[in-house]
Structure 1
Amino acid sequence: MRLRPTVLAATYLILSNIQYAYASALTTAIGANVRMCFYAEVDKPKEKIGFYFAVQSGGSFDIDFDVKDPRDVVILEGKQERQGDYILTANHVGEYAFCFENDMSTITEKLIDFDIMVESEPRKETPGKPTQLSEHTSALEESIFKLSGMLTSIERSQKYFHTRENRGFSTVKSTHNRIFWYSFFECVGIVGMACAQVYILQTFFNRTGRKYKV
């Protein structure tokens, strides 16, 4: 089956006007008392910045964060947050800083999964007359935006289950370590008590200057 030129032109028009984005999805470990920053460049004002993060493991699964614009002004911050999903409007052109801070922890390292996405909306010339494309464009736009929404929903669900899986694994690992050390110190205590009892009994029956007749 061959598509008509008008349908192809309408498809090209919609795809050319759909938002494009460049993103950086990373997973990084942040040590105790460490502040770590990541940067995203914005080329045009009013662009959208998507910022997602989730603490995968470490401590109570929380972290401090803040977002600064190119003027070094804090536009978003949070304390002891486990995860977040934000959409920001970049009012200024330049470099935006996304920082995580693990000051509340003295020995525990935190594993952070985060995603920074910068979106823009380029406009291209229409490859045909609007009257020829109007009836095809509306149906294609609706279908494409529905698919985009479904993909976004699936992506968010995957991130949610990924975070739950990592947190569950971290909890199981921490519980296993606690049980191991509890059992170890319990065995050490039992052996220590047995040795202490033997020593006390030997000292009691072998006191200097005393003799016992049977």
Structure 2
Amino acid sequence: MCCWLGLAQATALTFTLAPNEKQCFYQFNNKPDSNIGYYFAVQAGGSFDINYTIKGPDQVLIVVEEKQRQGDYAFVAAKTGEYEFCFDNEMSTFAEKVVDFEIKVEDEDEASQMKANLPNAPTENTAVAGMQLSVNKIERTLNLLEHSLNYYKTRNNRNQSTVKSTENRIFWFSIFDLGLMMVMGAFQVAVVKFFFQGSRKQLV
């Protein structure tokens, strides 16, 4: 079992989870009722599934999921403190998993406050606040695009794995079919040879 600590407003990483291994990540929330969004996807390994749990600062389970391939969810962090995100690959004996994972804390109070501070008269503060809102909107759009790219990346990796698995099966089936044909051919030759030997003995 292995645990790794990461404290940030936005954390994105890719890690490898060995068979029978567990890794935990931590996100600190300093404001009650904040929105914590998280995204994960199993990019490679086994059946592309993994178990994960989310615990609050009081160690109460918030989410428990088993054999999930990917997820893009958000929940309300009612309490301040450290939230624990754990992934485990204990169901796999040999296959290691490669997982993309991202945690983001969305502060809606700040955005609401900026909107409330926008006066009707155009001033320098209004322009700055408007630019900040535009930047936030662009950031949200980029996040959506990033999630879409991650989704297509995951689909591409899984399709490649399926193609490789199908190629391996076709190869070994062809080898088995070839070996079976050689065995059947040798058996037929042996049977015909046995019959001819028997016929010659009867003629003598």
Q: How far does the alpha carbon of each residue in 1:2-61 deviate from its partner, in whole angstroms, 9 at most, with x for none?
A: xxxxxxxxxxxxxxxxxx824141132443xx2422221415243543321112234443
**Which amino acid counterpart does residue 25 of structure 2 have in structure 1?**
Y
**What residue in structure 1 maps to residue 132 of structure 2?**
141
TM-score by length of structure 1 reads 0.69
SS of 2:202's equivalent? coil
Aligned counterparts of 1:196 and 1:71: Cα–Cα separation in 2 = 72
SS of 2:201's equivalent? coil
Given that 1:40 and 1:116 are in contact with CA atoms closer than 8 Å, whether structure 2 keeps it comes out as: no
Given that 2:37 and 2:75 are in contact with CA atoms closer than 8 Å, whether structure 1 keeps it comes out as: yes
**What residue in structure 1 maps to residue 169 of structure 2?**
178
Given that 2:52 and 2:85 are in contact with CA atoms closer than 8 Å, whether structure 1 keeps it comes out as: no
RMSD over aligned CA atoms reads: 3.2
Residue 153 of structure 2 corresponds to residue 162 of structure 1: yes
Aligned counterparts of 1:63 and 1:43: Cα–Cα separation in 2 = 25
**What residue in structure 1 maps to residue 67 of structure 2?**
80
How far is the alpha carbon of 1:161 from its aligned partner? 1.6
Given that 1:52 and 1:85 are in contact with CA atoms closer than 8 Å, whether structure 2 keeps it comes out as: yes
Q: Percent identity?
A: 35
Unpaired runs of 5+ residues, structure 2, are 1-7, 111-117
Aligned counterparts of 1:28 and 1:108: Cα–Cα separation in 2 = 11
Residue 35 of structure 2 corresponds to residue 44 of structure 1: no
Aligned counterparts of 2:106 and 2:190: Cα–Cα separation in 1 = 75
How far is the alpha carbon of 1:202 from its aligned partner? 3.6
How far is the alpha carbon of 1:137 from its aligned partner? 3.9
How far is the alpha carbon of 1:74 from its aligned partner? 1.5
Label 1:161 to 1:174 Cα distance change in 2 as closer, same or farther (>3 A).
Answer: same
Q: How far does the alpha carbon of each residue in 1:65-95 deviate from its partner, in whole angstroms, 9 at most, with x for none?
A: 2212343321112233221012234324135
TM-score by length of structure 2 reads 0.72
How many residues align structurally? 184
**What residue in structure 1 maps to residue 3 of structure 2?**
none
Given that 1:69 and 1:95 are in contact with CA atoms closer than 8 Å, whether structure 2 keeps it comes out as: yes
Unpaired runs of 5+ residues, structure 1, are 1-19, 124-129
Given that 1:102 and 1:110 are in contact with CA atoms closer than 8 Å, whether structure 2 keeps it comes out as: no
Counterparts of 1:14-33 in structure 2, within 5 Å, are: 21-31=9-19
How far is the alpha carbon of 1:107 from its aligned partner? 5.0
Aligned counterparts of 1:122 and 1:109: Cα–Cα separation in 2 = 41
How far is the alpha carbon of 1:187 from its aligned partner? 0.8
